[in-house]
Amino acid sequence: MTGLLDGAEPLMIVLLGALMSRRLPSLATLMASAIGLTGIVLLARGSGPALGDPVGIALVLTGALFWSCYCLAVPELVNRNGPLPSTAAVMLFGAIPLLVAGAPQTGALVNQISVVQTIVFLALVIGSSVLATLCWNAGSAILGAAQAGWFLYLVPLVSFTGGVILLGEPVKAIELFGGGLVLLSVYLSQR
């Protein structure tokens, strides 16, 4: 469900970008947004009822909104300073409040995790946090926030595919159609 809710990010980027530039999005952008959002709705519909309560959904959508703001702000920083130093600064300044807030529980957590959990943890840190953010920052600096934001429509598709492959979740025709619409929206946005 989190992956599906993250499908709102490209639309948030389009809307926030339009507000910042004080320009309405083009008709082609609005059409690609509608196609992508329809695909996300079909993926969600095929997944059944929402897996979580309204507070969880609101928190995920709030995170998506903050990520959308980040996506609009970071290209200028990266273009001015380069992807590696910009990503390092973002990670450092993001880590400080997290370390302060999480310090009381962090020691106990580190002492409790197994070797396999440590390997998974390190893979998440290196892959999902460091490399993904570095690649995102470099790519969005080249493409621009609005153009790069379209690739966020792929997150729900990857979540769906992971559920099928890793968790053995069944595939429904409505989900395949929704995934096709997501891919079409990303394709149209890059033309």
Please give the torsion angle defined by the CA atoms of residues 46, 49, 55 and 56, in that order, rounded to the nearest 10 degrees. Answer: -50
pLDDT at 180: 85
CB-based contacts of 86, cutoff 8 Å, min separation 6: 74, 77, 78, 137
pLDDT value of residue 135: 95
pLDDT tens for the chain, 191 residues: list them.
666 677 778 888 888 988 999 998 888 888 888 888 888 778 777 665 555 567 877 888 898 899 999 999 999 999 999 999 999 999 999 999 998 998 888 888 888 999 999 999 899 999 988 999 999 999 999 998 888 888 887 887 788 788 889 888 888 888 788 888 888 887 887 77
- Rounded Cα distance, 115 and 135, in Å: 28
Residue 190 amino acid letter: Q
Q: What per-residue confidence (pLDDT) applies to 66? A: 94
Question: Residue 34 carries which DSSP code?
Answer: H
Structure tokens given for 127:
């892959």
Q: Report angle CA 55, 61, 65 to the nearest 5 degrees.
A: 140
Contact 139, 22 (CB under 8 A): no
The pLDDT value given to residue 156: 76
Residue 137 pLDDT: 94
User: Concatenated DSSP letters for 48-95?
Assistant: -S-SS-HHHHHHHHHHHHHHHHHHHHHHHHHHHH-HHHHHHHHHHHHH
pLDDT given for residue 169 in this prediction: 83
Whole-number Å distance between alpha carbons of 84 and 103: 27
Contact 153, 39 (CB under 8 A): yes
Per-residue confidence (pLDDT) for residue 4, from 0 to 100? 67
Decide: 43 and 4 in contact? Cβ < 8 Å: yes
pLDDT at 47: 62
